[in-house]
């Protein structure tokens, strides 16, 4: 995570914080998984995991969308935009899923924002 980004504080289970603070907590602790689409883009070299992590931990929610599958916490998908490790805008969409051992952030897609 870049020095410019504020360190992610501990997420206190049971609070109503949720949303982006919870997502940052999960990503900072590597409690996330990639969809086959997001993994494919990673495997093809479009980004590095550090870019994704930095953009989420230093980013903001641009919008939320209703999750049509309704298989996640709050039935919401989060569109997050933040800087990658080189300072370029990076876009990702994901949702908080309930796992056997707690919550996991599921990254649906991730890529650099188009420039120019």
Q: CA 77: distance to chain centroid?
A: 10
Closest by CA position to 110, among listed 89, 95, 91, 87: 91
Q: Enumerate the domain spans of the chain.
A: 32-112
Buried b (16+ CB within 10 A) or exposed e, 48-57: eeebbbbbbb
Per DSSP, 114 falls in state: P
Q: What is the pLDDT of residues 62-84, one digit of tens each?
A: 999 999 999 999 999 999 999 99
pLDDT band at 101 (very low <50, low <70, confident <90, very high): confident
pLDDT averaged over the chain? 88
| Cα–Cα distance for residue pair 25/12, rounded to 1 Å | 10
Residue 41 near residue 110, CB atoms below 8 Å: yes
Closest by CA position to 82, among listed 108, 106, 56: 56
Closest by CA position to 91, among listed 58, 56, 41: 56
Q: What is the pLDDT of residue 18?
A: 72
Q: What is the pLDDT of residues 28-52, one digit of tens each?
A: 999 999 999 999 999 999 999 999 9
Q: What is the pLDDT of residue 15?
A: 41
Q: What is the pLDDT of residue 99?
A: 85
Q: What is the pLDDT of residues 8-22, one digit of tens each?
A: 555 554 444 579 999
Q: What is the pLDDT of residue 94?
A: 98
């Amino acid at each position: 995570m870049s020095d410019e980004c504020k360190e992610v504080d501990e997420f206190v289970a049971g609070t109503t914080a949720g949303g982006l603070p919870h997502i940052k907590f999960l990503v900072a602790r590597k409690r996330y998984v990639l969809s086959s689409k997001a993994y494919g883009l990673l495997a093809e070299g479009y980004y590095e995991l550090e870019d994704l992590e930095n953009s989420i931990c230093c980013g903001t929610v641009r919008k939320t969308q209703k999750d049509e599958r309704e298989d996640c916490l709050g039935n919401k998908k989060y569109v997050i935009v933040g800087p990658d490790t080189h300072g370029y805008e990076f876009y990702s969409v994901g949702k908080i899923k309930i796992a056997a051992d707690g919550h996991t952030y599921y990254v649906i897609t991730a890529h650099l924002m188009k420039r120019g």
